[in-house]
Amino acid sequence: MVTRRSTKYPNVPPRSDYPAMERAILDRWQAERTFEASVEARLPERAGGSQYVFNDGPPFANGLPHYGHL
């Protein structure tokens, strides 16, 4: 007999449909106008805001590269 433990996490299906999940997320973002709201939430440069820049993290975990990274 298999007993299930109580957990705060929802049950997850053993196989995920990632394309369907992506469509659902994109539909929600479109319905809620998420991107537009993020743009509107930024302060304009004349009001002390700055240009939006997306940095994808440092090129190396510990700062400068060394020969081991090459």
Predicted confidence at residue 11, as pLDDT, reads 83
SS3 35: helix
Predicted confidence at residue 10, as pLDDT, reads 83
- The CA-atom distances, in angstroms, between 20 and each of 5, 23, 33 are 29, 5, 20
Degrees to nearest 5, angle at CA 49 with 48 and 51: 140
pTM: 0.47
Predicted confidence at residue 31, as pLDDT, reads 97
| CA dihedral angle for residue 43, residue 47, residue 50, residue 51, rounded to 10 degrees | 70
Predicted confidence at residue 26, as pLDDT, reads 96
SS3 14: coil
Residue, of 9 and 57, whose pLDDT is higher: 9
pLDDT band at residue 21 using 50, 70 and 90 as cut-offs: very high
What is the CB neighbour count within 10 angstroms for residue 70? Answer: 5
